[in-house]
Chain A
Amino acid sequence: MRTNLLKRLTAALAMGVFALGIGGGVAVAKTDLLVYTSIEADELAKFKNAFEKDYPDINIKWVRDSTGIMGAKLLAEKDNPRADIVYGMAATVLLQLIPYNYFQAYAPKGVEKLNPLYVDPKNNPPLWVGQRAYVAAVCYNTIEGKKANLPIPKTWKDLTKPVYKGHVIMPNPGSSGTAYLDVSSWIQMWGEEGAFKFMDALHKNISRYTHSGSKPCKLAAAGEIPIGVSFAYRVVKSKAAGAPLVLITPEEGLGWEVEAMAIVRNTKNLAAARALADWTISRKSMELHAPGYAEVALPGIPNPVKDFPDVGGKMIKNDFAWAGANKARIVKKWTARYDAKSEPRKKK
């Protein structure tokens, strides 16, 4: 008994000294896993707690910011990547980083069970694996909408009706990935000419363009505008906080984006990064991914959010490669046409 206790004490002491030696109060055995992500911050604790319960020797360290900021940071670090794994990041951002040899291929355990749309189609084993999809959506503020006598729109084309003039806000594709999601989906549905014709008409109704993709529905939630073009998760969240919003998924079809993960090429914590990837596509984790999102990578997991519309059928066949390749050109065209909204209209 006594010797046992003594042994334990010595061990504990040694561990303590060792912990001090490496310069922190962090327990020795734990691996710090640096994860860059754009997942909404309120979900981070949920994922971290669940994962660390299953892998007690790994400690997730999040660096979270908006897709734009994280994307810029990732790209700026391309010569000397710092993250171990990029997680819950828009797939378009990952696609932009792949040419710089940013990631290493890995097929997480169970990847074969995933919906093939969510797995890197170009590489095997895949460079990236999708976690879930978020869809474009429209939100409608019932109180403000009623005040202005606005009918609830059902389709994208509805939004071009004169009755909505000055009552719609959408993000600017020049600064927001969500907005580009909308624009590229319209082009994929209606062709470039048809889509721009639609946007010409929509532009007449737009009150202003915002820089952040989540802002339109935040503004709608705060009664600043009756109708916002944004994505679904935001609407669900604002509703839960008490906003008088209705979530609308236009009938023509919805643009969508995959939130995906990819292991960084020079990670020093490969085992831990792979463990996170494996865990992420497990059923348990996929269930955590589901609330508020259109679809998760693992088929057969329903969205637990009440009255969340069934959007599966509306998701368009999204060609990410095309969208990425044409982004610069389309944004430039869009900017030239619409990006001077508050300017007094000048004839050239």
Chain B
Amino acid sequence: MTDGPQAVVIEAPLVKPKVGRENWVMRAGLAVIGVYLLVAVVFPLYTILSKSFQDSRGLFVGLDNYAEYFATPALFYSINNSLTVSVISMVITVGLAFGYAYGLTRSCIPGKGVFKAIALIPILAPSLLPAISLRYLFGAQGMIKGLLMGETIYGPIGIVIGEVFWTFPHALLIIFTALSLSDARLYEAAEALGASKLRTFFTVTLPGAKYGLISACFVVFTLVITDFGVPKVIGGGYNVLAVDIYKQVVGQRNFQMGAVVGLVLLAPALLAFVADRMIQGKQVALLSARAVPYEPKPDRRFDLAMLAFCGTVAFVIIGILAVAQFAALVKFWPYNLSLVLDSYQFDLMDGGSWGAFWNSLKMAAWTAVIGTAVIFTGAYLVEKSKGFEHGRGLIQLMCMIPLAVPGIVLGLAYIFFFNAVGNPLGFIYHTLIILVLCTITHFYTVSHLTAATALKQMDAEFEAVSSSLKVPFYKTFVRVTVPVCIPAILDISIYLFVNAMTTVSAVIFLYSADTQLASVAVLNMDDAGDTAPAAAMGMMIVYTSATVRLLHFLLTRGIARRTQAWRKR
């Protein structure tokens, strides 16, 4: 339009590509995924977030709720507090995770497999477990409360420790991947140029891992700012935004205000997300370079130092869990320290039962199976299909939203949407299906990103080759894409499984008489004052997830031996 008369040249008619049968299949697939995401993510969230513009009777009031909310001085404390703990947790977590990952990738310390396994344990634990441990360690009767030098654990210190423990594995996974991808040739060049170790670190290692580090920062920041579990149980009176939602929704049953805070909370999380996406976009180019993997050489002093560092971190992780296990066995802390097994009789306890445990197992298994199938297929269609640019962009955005939504908001959204009069899907309410659906949605984003990363690493031309051979894309998906991506698919399924075992915030509103869950039981038992059984059930979840992880590891190795023979030269 800008270049005047020249643009008015009569153009040849546009070529309208013929839509073949295969295209229809692909479009149908995309449509199904799109509808799924609308039903599972967009519609429910709309039902709750639209309440921020309504009064308690559902009448539209514009921005009144926002005006009221922003007129509250306590809000600024909450925003300030949320940002403070999120930033501090982010710095500490990413720092520790970087050191740990550095030790695992750049030194010759023994037992790297064990160290990596230990570092991932916190993902397996319900967030209440570290909170209980922290109380036993640093509370008024704490075993090592002297370390806090008079400061209380119930406040920002506790929140930060709890969040660091919980987010450490997430950061480690990302940074570990980033460091593993570094190119050995750069190190050889640095060495040849006579650069010192320190100089090499600042000129080669850090820039190489830059995107991974930034990405880890954003993930940790988003996880911390949307989490209400840790601040609620250990935060004392230190108000953060996520707890404000809890107070509005659960304490005062004021959904309108809860929705307002939910939207406020969405802002920093979305900001972090957008920035992260932009950086991720740049990282792709970095990954596609043909790099030579780096092999560390032994260096006694450096290796010892790294061993000491990783050992300390691993010790702390194990220590926190050991204290939780201790809490499960102790008769009455801190006045009767004899160890008993009473706590495992869940059927006699408040709020929990072995039934809840089996329900959790069932729910986690379905979540893993269905979630992996849906998420991986969805990611495939978004990544590998042609045309439909806008539709695919929208689907991608919908895949990203769940990361920024606090579980409590998601849970209520599911009630509003699925229990609405006339919703044809109403029959899934109060069943295991809604729990599975909600859990898949809650953990959709990270799973989708994992799938998308794996798919991006595949040759971009597989689909072109198969269409030239007149093999429809879905056959190639089954025969090639899925088998090649088996490691990522197993990773996604295990991620969904362990998170389904531990999740509380979203499902607490959705379980029913026949679908009680172990993770909710942990919370309720602790709520009822039964700390020991709560810890016991929490540890059961850890052991279960650990066992499943171990099985997953053996399975992966077995599958690798049989079907991934092609990976080895």
Contacts and interface: CB of A to CB of B under 8 A. Distances in A.
Q: Do A and B touch, yes or no (CB under 8 Å, in the complex)?
A: yes
Interface of A: 34, 40-42, 61-66, 68-69, 71-73, 75-77, 79-80, 82, 93, 96, 143-144, 172-177, 207-212, 214, 217-218, 221-225, 234, 237-238, 241-244, 327-328, 331-332, 335-336, 339-343, 348
10 contacts: A41-B350, A75-B253, A80-B421, A175-B251, A209-B236, A210-B236, A223-B335, A234-B529, A243-B335, A328-B252
A327 B252 CA distance: 9
Contacts of B527: 66, 212, 214
A144 B250 CA distance: 32
Contacts of B421: 79-80
Given A175-B247, A224-B140, A76 B419 contact: yes
Contact of B333 (A144, A177, A217, A222): A222
Interface in B414-432: 415-416, 419-421, 426, 429-430
B531 to A, nearest CB: 7
Given A64-B351, A143-B335, 17 more contacts: A40-B528, A42-B528, A63-B511, A65-B520, A73-B415, A75-B255, A76-B415, A82-B419, A174-B247, A175-B246, A175-B250, A175-B251, A210-B236, A242-B336, A327-B252, A340-B237, A342-B154
Given A214-B528, A221-B529, A340 B239 contact: yes
Contacts of A217: 529
Contacts of B448: none
Given A175-B247, A340-B239, A72 B509 contact: yes
B253 A71 contact: yes
A237 B531 CA distance: 13
A307 B525 CA distance: 26
A342 B74 CA distance: 12
A76 B73 CA distance: 28
B49 interface: no
Contacts of B77: 340, 343
Contact of A76 (B74, B155, B416, B513): B416
B513 A61 contact: yes
Contacts of A41: 349-352, 524-525, 528
B508 A65 contact: yes
Contact of A336 (B72, B255, B331): B72
B135 interface: yes
Interface of B: 72-74, 77, 135, 139-141, 152, 154-156, 232, 236-239, 243, 246-247, 249-255, 331-336, 348-352, 412, 415-416, 419-421, 426, 429-430, 508-509, 511-514, 520, 524-525, 527-529, 531
A54 to B, nearest CB: 20
Contacts of B430: 82
Contact of B524 (A66, A143, A327, A341): A66
A222 B154 contact: no
B247 A63 contact: no
A291 B335 CA distance: 25
Given A66-B524, A77-B415, A234-B529, A72 B250 contact: yes
Contact of A63 (B139, B249, B250, B513): B513
Question: Which of A40, A174, A225, A335 has the most C-beta atoms of chain B within 10 angstroms of its own C-beta?
Answer: A174
Closest 10 CB pairs of A and B: A175-B251, A61-B513, A341-B237, A41-B350, A68-B250, A41-B351, A76-B415, A208-B236, A242-B332, A218-B529
Nearest to B257: A328
A208 B528 contact: no
Contact of B139 (A76, A209, A224): A224
B430 to A, nearest CB: 6
A308 B139 CA distance: 30
B246 A214 contact: no
Nearest to A212: B527
A333 to B, nearest CB: 12
B255 A176 contact: no
B72 A244 contact: no
A336 B420 contact: no
Contacts of B155: 208, 342
A62 B139 CA distance: 35
A339 B352 CA distance: 33
Contact of B251 (A63, A176, A223, A244): A176
B416 to A, nearest CB: 6
A288 B310 CA distance: 56
B334 A34 contact: no
A244 B514 CA distance: 37
A76 B255 contact: yes
Nearest to A34: B513
Question: Which of A41, A63, A243, A332 has the most C-beta atoms of chain B within 10 angstroms of its own C-beta?
Answer: A41
Contacts of B426: 80
